[in-house]
Structure 1
Amino acid sequence: MISNLIAATYAPMHNDGSLNTERIKDYTQFLIRNHVAGVFMNGSTGDFTSLTIEERKAITLAWSENKSDDLYLIDHVGDPSLKVAKNLATYAADKVDAIAAIAPFYFRLNSIDKLIEYCKEIAACAPNLPFYYYHIPVLSGAHLNMASFLEQAKDKIPNLAGIKFTNNNLIDYGHCKSKANSKYNILFGYDELFINSLPLGANGWVGSTYNHLAPLYYKIKTLFENGDMEAAADLQSKAIRFVEFLDSNGGFNGVAKGFMKVLGVDCGPSRFPHTTLTDGDYAKIKKTLHDMGLTPWFSI
């Protein structure tokens, strides 16, 4: 069962906006060096909605070609088209360690029965891989109770491994943890509430800022375990300020992707509608983040 930090990874691109999958070799080593335990590729952070099917497959292949025992690979294959999602799941079946799928987000699901039907068909395309439902209702519109989903899906999706729980509903998260009973892996996916997940028993997290600030989050976990809540809360506040500051400079997704170059992994520009800043902009951002006390906590 995967635990610790899992980075929601970016789709590396050349300056012309085409994929630069050669960058994934260095990206892999960067994450391992920072003790990141896994990768969640082709997700929201990875701009999957801005990629073609073939580009998503190219990213899956590149990560699989750089596979390491030190990095667990979860490939997000969800799509508004069930046919496309099944195609991507079939492609990933012999390349990664697990697959995940978000609910359809144009014609949205309004019942757990429909969600189970959707997940069951996708999971069946890679029956030997663990399957995670990607719960992010603010984007999918599937505002469904996840504890009820686990209860109703347990006998219908044989390879259901758990949930990537990207929601601030800590009550539902806590119920999911209780339902899990060690059978399911409930990966917490809300970086700004990392510290809040710890008393609820979280032991696995998926998020974009684990690319940038992995040492900070591991320190929060250590401080919490040692009972130093004040210091842990101070570091969580720094992580929140990181998100808020980058977001204020043109939108978090695009600006945070470009910031990876400052850390030594050039992921290139972002696709529309995300913002791509200049090197000069990032020099100013780096200075401000240094003044905030974040430099010692950067992944390197």
Structure 2
Amino acid sequence: MEQLMAATYAPLKADGSLNTGVVARYREFLRANRVKGAFVNGSTGDFASLSTEERKELIDAWADGRPDGFTLVNHVGHTNLREARELAAHSNGRVDAVAALAPYYFRIRTLDSLLTYCREIAVCAPDTPFYYYHIPVLTGADFAMRDFLERAERDIPTFAGIKYSDGNLTDFGACVSYGDGDYRILFGVDEMLVDSLAAGATGWVGSTYNHLAPLYQTLIRLYRKGETDAARQLQEKAVRFVQTLDGQCGFNGAGKSFLREVGLDLGPSRFPHRSLTEEQRAAVMEVLEQLGILPHLSTVPAWPATTPAE
């Protein structure tokens, strides 16, 4: 089954503390735009700027009242293996899967070390599938994931797949075709979604699926119908969207604050990310209108009166 999963932002109050009360509204926003799940506490969610207790509190809010059919994955990776194990144990049986990226300060140098790290985390959530979060541009753990797969299926009993956030489509394709398709390889580079389709992708995790879900759903449909030129034109719009926001104050902070334009206020970003100023917001909207991107934005549903705003 093909599905988009949003890499979610950590909602904050004006004072910078967590605002878990908005999670129910956030989830309904994604569901209304036919996004099938949430990848929580990842890079988009500023996990490195959250404490372990905050990460627990946030995944608790997402797990509470989660409807059937809405996939929930919690990223539990940490530079401290003991903290990662604690986060995995906390999630055991409460989410559909846990995921972990490699330590990114003192970096892993061998595939053996990476397997040890992943196995130590996975055993703390024995009832929950485990995904490795491959993002070598940030972790420096740049190994062929086809080799990792072969080792992981032997070494990690709960191993389920990879969140593949790298542009190496040859390696990605080799992972997709590995074995009998027993492992789920989720592509994590939004700007290359159209290219991932040719490599066999059927699932995607990304931050811009918060903002542009209708665009990507149309893109996938066009590609599957053989209208590849039209699909690539939509992909270019998505790339320009990222470039426009990134050029203002960096994509993480700008992307989070931009969601206010579609009716979802997730508060400020934690340092070092910055939110859009009013002047920057106006400039972004002008450019997006010129580029013809505004009609492709996700839309806010009619909120129930009982849905908490904060």
1:199 corresponds in structure 2 to 198
Do 1:21 and 1:62's aligned partners in 2 also have CA atoms closer than 8 Å?
A: yes
Structure 2 SS opposite 1:155: helix
Do 1:82 and 1:118's aligned partners in 2 also have CA atoms closer than 8 Å?
A: yes
2:146 corresponds in structure 1 to 147
Structure 2 SS opposite 1:205: strand
Provide structure 1 residue ranges, at least 5 long, that are not aligned to the other structure: none
Counterparts of 1:39-78 in structure 2, within 5 Å, are: 39-78=38-77
Deviation at 1:283, TM superposition (A): 3.3
Aligned residues: 299
- CA offset digits 1:34-53 (Å, max 9, x no partner): 01011000000000000011
One-letter code aligned to 1:117: T
Do 1:76 and 1:100's aligned partners in 2 also have CA atoms closer than 8 Å?
A: yes
Distance 1:152 1:14 in 2: 43
Deviation at 1:3, TM superposition (A): 3.9
1:299 corresponds in structure 2 to 298
2:302 corresponds in structure 1 to none
Distance 2:213 2:65 in 1: 21
2:156 corresponds in structure 1 to 157
Structure 2 SS opposite 1:46: coil
* TM-score normalised to structure 2 length: 0.94
2:132 corresponds in structure 1 to 133
- CA offset digits 1:149-206 (Å, max 9, x no partner): 0011211101100000000111110111121521100000000000000011100000
Mean Cα deviation higher: 6-15 or 180-189: 180-189
Distance 1:259 1:273 in 2: 17
1:83 corresponds in structure 2 to 82
Structure 1 SS opposite 2:175: helix
2:261 corresponds in structure 1 to 262
Provide structure 2 residue ranges, at least 5 long, that are not aligned to the other structure: 300-310
1:18 corresponds in structure 2 to 17
Do 1:34 and 1:215's aligned partners in 2 also have CA atoms closer than 8 Å?
A: yes
One-letter code aligned to 2:240: R
2:180 corresponds in structure 1 to 181
Deviation at 1:280, TM superposition (A): 4.6
1:102 corresponds in structure 2 to 101
2:228 corresponds in structure 1 to 229
1:111 corresponds in structure 2 to 110
1:247 corresponds in structure 2 to 246
Distance 1:109 1:123 in 2: 17
Deviation at 1:284, TM superposition (A): 3.2
Structure 1 SS opposite 2:161: strand
Do 2:258 and 2:276's aligned partners in 1 also have CA atoms closer than 8 Å?
A: no
Structure 1 SS opposite 2:249: coil
Do 1:3 and 1:37's aligned partners in 2 also have CA atoms closer than 8 Å?
A: no
One-letter code aligned to 1:52: S
Do 2:248 and 2:280's aligned partners in 1 also have CA atoms closer than 8 Å?
A: no
One-letter code aligned to 1:95: R
Distance 1:176 1:240 in 2: 25
Deviation at 1:282, TM superposition (A): 1.9
One-letter code aligned to 2:153: K
- CA offset digits 1:215-270 (Å, max 9, x no partner): 10011111101111111110000000000010000100000000111111101100
Q: CA RMSD in A?
A: 1.1
* TM-score normalised to structure 1 length: 0.97
Do 1:103 and 1:142's aligned partners in 2 also have CA atoms closer than 8 Å?
A: yes
